[in-house]
Amino acid sequence: LAKTTQPISMDSYEGQEVNITCSHNNIATNDYITWYQQFPSQGPRFIIQGYKTKVTNEVASLFIPADRKSSTLSLPRVSLSDTAVYYCLVGGPEDSSYKLIFGSGTRLLVRP
Amino acid sequence: GAVVSQHPSWVICKSGTSVKIECRSLDFQATTMFWYRQFPKQSLMLMATSNEGSKATYEQGVEKDKFLINHASLTLSTLTVTSAHPEDSSFYICSSPWGLDGYTFGSGTRLTVV
């Protein structure tokens, strides 16, 4: 199981772009990289998933370098409602036996 | 998208009683369900994995006789906290694999044992 390392916390201001980097040096060839968002007293919510290069959806972008040993979640123009904990996980999404092991996550605080 | 409905959202029980938490997959068949526990300001900790029609697999350090898991159908998995004590107070979350988006999570259950 690939272990992930993220910053414990980050601060930002409304309207800024936030980049959260995750290290996963032991990522396997078949592993995907997935980011989840969690608000207090709620279950995690899927944000974005990628395998290599860049993926973009309506809420975020995910940048993955060629060696795939790290990834960066980019949140454009954050708002107060983006204050949450963000988790980076690696694994095979089509393998139902794969256990999602959560790391510490990054606690993002967006200030007015 | 896939939805896992988790109930109750919160529950308060007396020490020594048992509490059952349900997770239902609403629009897909959940062959596998993962159960997590989360203490305040901490990350999710995997407790056990349940597969429909078979016994659950528990992570090291999790008491299987205390946390009973039943996955009798493809749409329902339950976690029963037996003889609950204050130290069992936590946020419990279920999750099931779903397609290429990874995993879908329940909304969580806040258990308070008094």
Q: What is the pLDDT along chain B (114 residues), one digit of tens a residue?
A: 789 999 999 999 999 999 999 999 998 888 899 999 999 999 999 999 998 888 999 999 999 999 999 998 999 999 999 999 999 999 999 999 876 667 899 999 999 999
- A-chain CB neighbours of B34 within 8 Å are 99-100
Question: For residue A68, what pLDDT band results from cuts at 50, 70 and 90?
Answer: very high
Please answer yes or no on whether B34 and A100 come within 8 Å at the CB atom: yes
Nearest CA in chain B to A102: B44
Quick check: B32 and A94 CB within 8 A?
A: no
Predicted local distance difference test score (pLDDT) of residue A101:
81
* Binary contact (B43, A102; C-beta < 8 A): yes
DSSP bridge partners of A27: none
Pairing relation of β-strands B67-73 and A45-50?
unpaired
Predicted local distance difference test score (pLDDT) of residue B97: 84
Which backbone phi and psi does B88 adopt, to 5 degrees? Answer: -85, -5
Phi, psi (deg, nearest 5) at residue B100 = -85, -5
Contact A36, A47 (CB under 8 A): yes
Q: Is B105 on the interface with A (CB under 8 A)?
A: yes
Q: What's the average model confidence in pLDDT over A48-76?
A: 96
Instruction: Say whether B91 and A98 touch across the interface (CB within 8 A).
Output: no
Has residue A2 got a pLDDT over 90? no
Distance from CA of A47 to the nearest CA of B (A): 9
What are the φ/ψ torsions at residue B24 (nearest 5 degrees)? -120, 135
Beta bridge partners of B57: B49
- How many CB atoms sit inside 10 A of residue A16's CB? 14
For residue A37, pLDDT over 60 is answered with: yes
Q: Does any CB of chain A come closer than 8 Å to the CB of residue B107?
A: yes
Using CA atoms, how far residue A27 sits from A5, A10, A23, A64, A70, in Å, is 12, 24, 9, 12, 9
